[in-house]
Amino acid sequence: MKSSILDGKATAEKIKTHIRESIEKRVQDGYLAPTLATILVGSDPASQTYVNMKNKACESVGMKSRRIELPENTTTDQLLDKIQELNEDNSIQGILLQHPSPPQVDERSAFDSILPTKDVDGVTTFCYGKLAMDQDAYFPCTPYGMILLLREYGIEVSGKKAVVVGRSPILGKPMAAMLTNLDATVTLCHSKTKNLDEIVKTADIVVGAVGRAEFIKGSWIKEGAVVLDAGYNAGNVGDIELSVASEKSSYHTPVPGGVGPMTIAVLLLQTLYSWEGKFSPALKSGK
Active site residues: 54, 98, 121
DSSP annotation of 92: -
The answer to whether 122 touches 141, Cβ cutoff 8 Å, is yes
The SS3 of residue 122 is coil
The answer to whether 268 touches 61, Cβ cutoff 8 Å, is yes
DSSP strands (E only) in the chain: 4-5, 35-41, 64-70, 94-97, 161-165, 185-189, 205-208, 226-229, 251-252
Q: Which residues of 188-217 are buried (b: 16+ CB within 10 A; e: fewer)?
A: bbeeebeebeebbeebbbbbbbbbeebbbe
Phi, psi of 5 (to 5 degrees): -85, 130
| Rounded CA separation 221/202 (Å) | 8
Give me the half-sphere count of Cα atoms (radius 13 Å) on the Cβ side of residue 55: 16
Q: Are strands 205-208 and 161-165 parallel, antiparallel or unpaired?
A: parallel
